[in-house]
Each structure stands twice: as C-alpha cells, then as structure tokens.
Structure 1
Amino acid sequence: MARRENPEINAGSMADIAFLLLIFFLVTTTMDVDSGIPKKLAEKTDVKPPIIKEKNIFQVSINRNNQLLVEDQAMELKDLKDAAIKFIDNGGGIGNPMPGMEVGTTCNYCKGDKDPESSDHPTKAVISVESDRGTEYGTYVAVQNELLRAYTELRNRLCQEKYGMSFTELEQAFKDSARKDESLRKKVEDIKASYPQIISDTDPTNVQ
C-alpha cells in the first residue's frame, strides 16, 4: 500500500490572514478615554485684558489634601454652589454693556444682597480656580461641577421668569429645532449674556 504524504501548510497564506486580522482589530477596536469637562479655550489675542477689581473675583483654591479655600476661608464642597451664586448674583454695581448697548447698567434681575464689597454684576463676576499640583483630578472636576451648577441654577431661574421654561428646556428646544429657530436662538443668547459663565483656571501651583 502506498504511503500517503501529509500535505504541507502554506505558511505564506497564514501570515497574510494574521496581518488582515490585525488590521481588522485596529480598525474596529475602540479605546476608552478619560472623561472631563468640555470647555472652549480662549483664543490667543494681542489685546491686553481689562483690569478686574478684586471684589469682582471669587477665589477658589484647592490644596494638595483636596481641601477648599474660598475667599481665604475653609469651605465644604457642598456649600460651594450657594456661595458662588451669592457672589455672581450680588448685583452691587454697574455691569459691562449688554449686546446692543453702549453702556452698562445695574442688574435688575439679580436677587443678591447688592453688597458694595462684592461683585458689581454677573457680567463682571469672575470665578478663579487655583489647584495644587497634588490635587486629585476627581476633586478638581467636582469643584468645576459645583460652579457649573451655580450658573445653571441662575440661568434656569431667569429663563423661567422671562420665557416660562428653564434654560435647560430652552436649550433642548433649540437643539430639537436643529439650531434653526432664530427666536429660540435669541432667547438662549439673551440668558447666556445675562449670566455669562466666566471661570478662570490658573496653572497648578503649591497651594497651602
């Protein structure tokens, strides 16, 4: 009986298949990325920034132990939102000119104490966040979220008073219109201009 020889495996074809599989996985595999807070960075400009009065700056510092110091006073994270609202909504003076206006006016929609030692107007209220090099990223994000909640609450309140819906609902209605409804666009811009989100992040330092 004749001896049957085993057929040889074409190694070249196997290499081609392995290469194709590698390309397939590279194309189809997704990679996890760190989540964060979406922000639009300011464009570089040669124009000198205006001088900001100290009373119009709300200083938030986070030390390496993830503790908050707000306006040189220790504060718990749970109290940050209300403190930020009190500062932004103080309305103690004249604001920057609103769109379509040449001069600034007092804030007739603010509900604050109108403390002359605190911010003049939401259009001038700057929140400055300083973190330590040792600050945990989670703490930094939590602080930013509380500050964003402060702006959201103020915008929702004003939008409810002026347009009968929250700002969150207004933005959603504008998005649902494929951003084409001009009347909704103007309302969104009006609320944003009334309570502009002005948060300044400084480079990490050594915070005591």
Structure 2
Amino acid sequence: MARRENPEINAGSMADIAFLLLIFFLVTTTMDVDSGISKKLAEKIPPNVKPPKIKDKNLFEVNINRNNELFVENEVMDIKDLKDAALKFIDNGGGIGSPKEGESKGTPCDYCNGDKDPSSSDHPNKAVISVQSDRATEYGTYIAVQNQLLQAYAELRNKLSQKRYNMSFTELEEAFKDSGRKDESLRKKVQDIKDSYPLIITDLDPEGTK
C-alpha cells in the first residue's frame, strides 16, 4: 500500500497577512498620551540677587491643602468660583503699572474693566498670582485650579483682542501660526495682547511632610 504524504501548508501568504494585520493595528490603535499643562517653570533666583518686593495688594494667594480644599486670600472658595475671582483681581486696574520698555514711568490701565479698587491690584502687569499646594494634594485638584486661572487670562485676552483687532486672541494666535510665524503685523498684535495681560502665575514649593 502506497504511503500517503501530508500536503505542505504554504506559510508565505499567512506571513503576509500577519504583517498586514500588524500594520493595520499600529495605524488604527489609539495610544494613551500623557496630558498636562504647558508651562515654563521659573528659574531659581541666584543667592546674590534679591527678589523684587511685591505689594500685598498686587499678590493673589491661592492655597490648596492636603484635603484638596481651596483657600483664596485665606478664605475658603469653591474651585468653580476661582476664575471669576482671579479675573476680578487681574483686571482691577486700581493704580499705576510697571513702566514698559523705553518708558520712564508706568501709566494707569486704560483698558481694564475692573472696579479700580485701591486695595486690589494696580495693573495687570503687576498682578501676581501665587499658587501653593500641599505634598498630599491630588494632582487632579491642582490641574483644576491651574485651568481656572488660565481661563481667566484667556477670557481677558480674548475680550481685549476682539476690541482692538476684531478677532479673539485664540483666532489671532491661530492666524499667526498659519502664517508660519512670519507675519510681523500679526506678531506685534499677539505680543501686544500678551503684554497687556501678562500671564504671571508663580508656583511655590509644596508644603507638607517630605
């Protein structure tokens, strides 16, 4: 009786299919990307340099304790109310601002829409927001606080840009990016809004047990 041989399986086509499937899954699979806040940390001040003195009224203190409770100017506050409080502080315009480059003295804020409260910030370029958290503060709470503060600046910049250039600051930045960052007219407008409402948020070292 003749011996019956088992037919061989052509593995070449299967390898091609596996390779195509691998490419398909690599192209279509969504990878988890770490998210966070785009922020440039301040450089450490040299020991021989004295930090500038800041008047109490130009400092907006935000503290987050280990229980994720928010204290603004030593008073308890809900995170949802932080943006409006920060906006009111930044846009107060109650005094004279720091002199700009080439100027000998500062001027009042003629574009601020705040209460002009003499006990609050003098000018947006003097308004400093200080954020301090505890080492046990949850990351999500810290991010939520930072988002509220950034939204306050974004709202003020958008309003001023709309008034001066008939487009929001977001649209202005997009137009500048679309130009390849080469349009000098757009560059000056973007810088003008940034200078009018400079983002001044400082992060102090977290408190708590190391």
Please report the TM-score for the alignment, with normalisation by the length of structure 1.
0.81
Residue matched to 1:201: 203
Structure 2 residue 113 is the aligned partner of structure 1 residue 115: no
Supply the distance in 1 between the matched residues of 2:189 and 2:101 (Cα, whole angstroms).
Answer: 13
Q: Which of 135, 138, 150 does residue 136 from structure 1 map onto?
A: 138
Question: What's the counterpart of residue 39 of structure 2?
Answer: 39
For 1:41 and 1:101, locate their aligned partners in 2 and report how far apart those are by CA, in whole Å. Answer: 28
The Cα offsets for residues 61-100 of structure 1, whole Å up to 9 and x where unpaired, read as: 0011111000111100110000000000000000011244
Distance, in Å, in 2 between the alignment partners of 1:43 and 1:130 is: 17
Q: Which moved more, 1:125-134 or 1:91-100?
A: 91-100
Q: CA deviation at 1:45?
A: 5.1
- 2 CA distance for matches of 1:57 and 1:118? 9
Larger displacement relative to structure 2 (48-57 or 174-183): 48-57
- Counterparts of 1:119 and 1:36 in 2: how far apart (Å)? 29
> Secondary structure, in 3 states, of the residue corresponding to 2:111?
coil
SS of equivalent residue, structure 2 residue 76: strand
Q: How many Å separate the matches in 2 of 1:69 and 1:174?
A: 38
What one-letter code is carried by the residue in structure 1 that aligns with 2:55? K
Counterpart CA distance in 2 for 1:124 and 1:180 is 30
> What amino acid does structure 1 have at the position aligned with 2:192?
D
Superposition pairs of residues 1-208 of structure 1, within 5 angstroms: 34-44=34-44, 46=46, 47-206=49-208
Q: Structure 2: state its 5+ residue gaps.
A: 1-29
Corresponding residue number in structure 2 for 1:14: none
CA–CA separation in structure 1 for the residues paired with 2:164 and 2:33: 40
* Alpha-carbon contact 2:45-2:51 (below 8 Å) kept: no
CA contact (8 A) 1:63 1:206 kept: no
Q: Does the Cα contact within 8 Å between 1:94 and 1:105 map onto a contact in 2?
A: yes
Runs of 5+ in structure 1 lacking a partner? 1-29
SS in 2 for 1:64: coil
Tell me the equivalent position of 2:21: none
Quick one: which amino acid aligns to residue 74 of structure 2?
D
Cα-to-partner distance string for 1:131-156 (whole Å, 9 max, x where unaligned): 01110001000100000000000000
TM-score normalised over the length of structure 2: 0.80
Identity of aligned residues (%): 73
Structure 1 distance, partners of 2:86, 2:106, is: 22
* Secondary structure of the structure 2 residue equivalent to 1:134: coil
Amino acid at match of 1:35: S
Would you say the 8 A contact 2:173–2:190 is kept in 1? yes
- Rounded to whole Å, the distance in 1 between the matches of 2:202 and 2:45 is 16
What amino acid is aligned across from residue 34 of structure 2 in structure 1? D
Q: 1:41 to 1:183 in 2, by over 3 A?
A: same
Shift of 1:31: 8.0
